[in-house]
Amino acid sequence: MKVLVSMNAFKGSLSAKEACSLVAQGFLRGYPEAVVSERPLADGGDGTVDVLLEALGGYPETVEVTGPYGDPVRARVGIVDGGKTVIIESASCSGLALVPPEKRDVYRAESRGVGELLRWAALRGARRIIVGIGGTAMNDGGIGMAQAAGALIRDADGRDVPPGIPGLFSVASVALGSIPDTFRDIQVIGISDVSNPLVGPEGATAVYGPQKGINPSEIDAVDREMKRYAEILGRDLGRNPCDLPMAGAGGGLGGALWAFFGAKLVDGARFILEETGVFEEMDECDLVLTGEGTVDSQTKKGKVPFAVASAAAERSIPVIVIAGGLADDVIVEHPAEYSAMFSSTVRPMTVQSAMGVSRETLPFVAEQIARVARIFSLRFPSRFETSAGGVVVRRGPSGPELLLIEDRFGVFTLPKGHVDPGETEEQAAVREVLEETGIKACIKGEIGVTRYRFFDDLGRPVEKTVRYYLMEPLSENPRPQEGEVSKAFWADARQLSRYPTYPNNRAILEKAIRRVEELS
């Protein structure tokens, strides 16, 4: 079985690369014959730079810019293709995760750092700038970003509007300023983890404002000002992003990128799937595992698990989603693209506790999934083989003795092997006993048949039927087959429990002993 593991980050707990590694390790514990490949993913939010750099090559640089509340932060950017492409992660300079929950203030939060990174990339010679829009702290409509990049956004008195949400309330006019000159012939691509428009019940303020800290009683007022700002963009720039899909990403950052830079807004997860070559790798797989920290109804709006599941569904490949937690809405309305969903939270606990044990629980759940997959794979063999073997019994000084071998895995078992072309099963059994133990023997009767399933060297399930015959030895001294058998010896039939063997062999051995006792 070929398995592709493509996980997003578990925010606050695991990077995408770490999550992939843990899932892959767990799966291989439960299904050691599987071939597992890892492709960490992102969707435009936290981890986007790392994922794209790992897939595309290049190197990171650190740039000091303005953080979400005006303090300096060191943002990590990706340099690809000799600097022709620069990858910016808005979360690294204007991200919600940069500030502890108790210190967050969405009213003050601004996107200025994103604009500073854009300008930095343009001035160092970039011809393509990829901007990950997700994971941000602000709801400023991208005003801070545009100002830092060179735009003029003024109030009724002709002054620059203040940062954060107050800027939305005071904006009266906009102009491109120096943006056309600075960004001439530069392609800007905004990759988004959501598809929300800028305003309205599905817009940036209504959906994500409460998560960022906007007072519910002020949602409508802020949304009205966001709409007014969009109309000003339409009036002054000829580009109104009100109803534009993905314009609501990053608290309106998506709409500003489109309005001021003519940026192409794309589904972040799908963009990264294409850039990293996951589609091609997926074509060769039997199963895909994906997931992230929380899977809920919003996951369908541009997050990694749904993008992966959609791509796999197009190829008729099953997808299993492993989340840190599953929200009630996704449990009630199970997306058809998900073949199955699992939570890595294995017992009731707080979110903080779940994050603390994710390195243990995530591979554990992956291992259980793998064990189930392995069971069902073995239930449907792709090939059938026939073998024959011998239970050679002699009368020892104190009772019956059986001829056993110790195989290369350290397990005590019976001599057996393939039935060669033109050979009967009886002939094969006699030959295998001689080859593996050096003992000549003759058949006294048939004992029974065992069947077992295993995976061949290519990982394909095989069912083998082994027919065993009761035999009498014609020689006395065993000689193990070199390279195949570690030991060949006579064992006291009454002490077989001393020799660990395969479960199906135990039943054959016991049946042989009863036959010997009946014949005695």
Task: Read off the DSSP letter of residue 162.
Answer: P
Are 198 and 252 spatial neighbours (Cβ–Cβ below 8 Å)?
Answer: yes
Using DSSP's 3-state secondary structure scheme, residue 294 falls into strand
Residue 452 or residue 365, greater confidence: 365
pLDDT of amino acid 208: 92
pLDDT of amino acid 453: 81
251: left (phi over 0), alpha (psi -120 to 50) or beta: left
- pLDDT tier for residue 519 given thresholds of 50, 70 and 90: low
pTM as predicted: 0.73
Torsions phi, psi for 391 (to 5 deg): -105, 100
Does residue 36 register a pLDDT over 90? yes
Does residue 178 register a pLDDT over 80? yes
Buried b / exposed e over 483-516, threshold 16 CB at 10 Å, is eebeebebbebeebeebebbebbeebbeebbebb
Are 377 and 370 spatial neighbours (Cβ–Cβ below 8 Å)?
Answer: no
- pLDDT tier for residue 301 given thresholds of 50, 70 and 90: low
Q: Which of 327, 324, 325 is nearest to 359 (CA)?
A: 324
138-169 pLDDT, tens digit each: 999 999 999 999 999 999 999 999 999 999 99
